[in-house]
Each structure stands twice: as structure tokens, then as C-alpha cells.
Amino acid sequence: MTVMREDDIVTGGSMSVEESADRARDLLARYGHLQGISLIEPMVHEEFNGRITMTSSFGTEAAALLALVAEVDPNLPVIFLDTRKLFGETHRYREQLVDQLGLTNIRIMRPDETLLAAEDPKGMLFASDTNRCCFLRKVEPLQRALTGYDAWLTGRKRFHGGERGALPAIEAAGTRIKINPLAGYQRQDIEDIFENRALPRHPLEAEGYLSIGCMPCTDRAAPDSNDVRAGRWAGQDKTECGIHYII
């Protein structure tokens, strides 16, 4: 999948691509057997102190990782990409979770207005070029937000399938390291985190949405669907927005 043009790519971590690959191998050897809070703790407080952030969509499963991170460090920077195409329910859910979990460092990133005016003046680019739309509304803002960080925590899980089926707990991502504390979690593990911590649900979950992104590109999924992300870019071969190709 081509998401970024060559001249779009910005490298921003303090490591070279080779150093990042070496660091990921070393971290994986020492911490790869850990997950959840056991993995988040040493990454936040020892390995990347002050140089680590996390991204969150504030979608249906997002509260699980947010809750674990809040228990380790409620002031950890949390990057939220406001594409300006999100459901109003997602914004309200974000406010509810931030309040309940005591998160104190939410970084709301929005698309570059100049780029939008030049390439998507009517806000309809999603209808003709979803990859470019995702670049303008997600990838570019995230590239800016990641400046100054060497590592980021993501909420991806292997059970989501597709490219995520072989997801390691720790991986090199260009000039940075990505930590995936929930990589090995199953759907029931996520449910347990919600129940044990009395976490609220995204209001659209009850309406049949299993995975929630932008309004134009998110559909309900069949009630018996095993594919959590089936409703994202339904009918297209696109399965990822491209933020995980950032280097």
C-alpha cells in the first residue's frame, strides 16, 4: 500500500534507522516476554524516560491501553489525531475517559490548514483517494507530533489479523521504536480490563461499530464478525491508515 510519497517522509527520532533496528533487537531480547503494565513500566520509566509518547484513537478498545498507561504515568503525552472527520461521540468519549482516568497530557493534533486548502478544499478527498486523505489528516499531523520522541506505545493487537497478525511486542519503526504492550492480548483480555476497571464503553459500540475511525470510512460490522476492523474502509483493500508506516 502506498500512503506516503517520498518527499512526504520526515525522519524525526534521535536514532538512525540502523541504531533503531539494533535497539529494538536488544529490547526485544530483554523485554519481549513481557506485556501490559509489566512492559509499559520499564519502557516509560527506564528505557525512554521523557522520550516516549502514545497514540490513541479513543475508539472501542482504546480505554484498555489508556487505563494501563494512566496507572504507570498519567502525565505521559497521549497523541490524539483529530482528523476533522471523526464522530462527535468520539470527542465526547475522549473527554469522559480523560476525566475518569486522570490523564493530564493530551496532545490534540489537527491537519495542516494550508495542505487541506490545497489538496482537500471541499473535504471530499476521502471519496477519491483515501490514502492521500489519510496522509493529510493522520500521517502528517502524527509526524509533527512525534518530533522529539524516540518511542511510542500503540494499542495494536495480533487478534485484529491482517498485517497485525505477526505483531511483535517491540519493533523498530524507522528512526524510532514502537512498543505494543497489548500485542498478545485476546479480545477477552481487553474485556477483562474494561470490567475490572469499570471503564466506560464508546457510545457507538452499542450501535454495532466494532472499530471506529472517521465517519466517512467507518461502517457497522456484522454482529457475529470475527474481524474487529471489518467496518473500516469496507469494500476497499485498504486496512491501515498509514500512521504505522511513519519512520
Q: Shortest Cβ distance from residue 191 to ligand SF4 (Å)? A: 26
Residue 211: C-alpha distances to residues 13, 68, 201 (Å): 29, 20, 12
Distance from C-alpha of 80 to C-alpha of 103, rounded to nearest angstrom: 13
Per-position x/- string for 165-204, each x denoting binding to ligand SF4 as judged by CB under 6 A, each - no binding: ----------------------------------------
The answer to whether 58 contacts ligand SF4 (rule: CB under 6 A) is: no
Smallest distance from ligand SF4 to CB 151, Å:
25
| Position among 55, 57, 83, 90 found at the interface with ligand SF4 (CB under 6 A) | 83
Identity of the residue, 23 or 202, whose beta carbon is nearer to ligand SF4 in the bound complex: 202
CA nearest 60: which of 201, 235, 225, 220? 201
134 catalytic per annotation? no
Q: Which residue is nearest to ligand SF4 (CB)?
A: 214
The verdict on 85 binding ligand SF4 (CB under 6 A) reads yes
**If binding is defined by CB under 6 A, does position 137 make contact with ligand SF4?**
yes
DSSP per residue over 103-122, as a string? ---EEEE---HHHHHHH-TT
CB-nearer residue toward ligand SF4: 138 or 160: 138
Phi, psi of 143 (to 5 degrees): -60, -40
Judging by beta carbons within 10 Å of its beta carbon (0-12, 13-18, 19+), is residue 162 exposed, middle or buried? exposed
Closest to 169 (Cα-Cα) out of 155, 190, 148: 155
Q: Which is nearer to ligand SF4, 96 or 131 (CB)?
A: 131
CB nearer to ligand SF4: pick between 27 and 228: 228
Residues 67, 40: contact at Cβ < 8 Å?
no
The reply on whether position 214 binds ligand SF4 by CB under 6 A is yes
73 closest CA partner among 52, 91, 95? 52
Q: Which stretch binds ligand SF4 (CB under 6 A): 36-44, 49-57, 63-71, 131-139?
A: 131-139
- Enzyme catalytic residues: 241
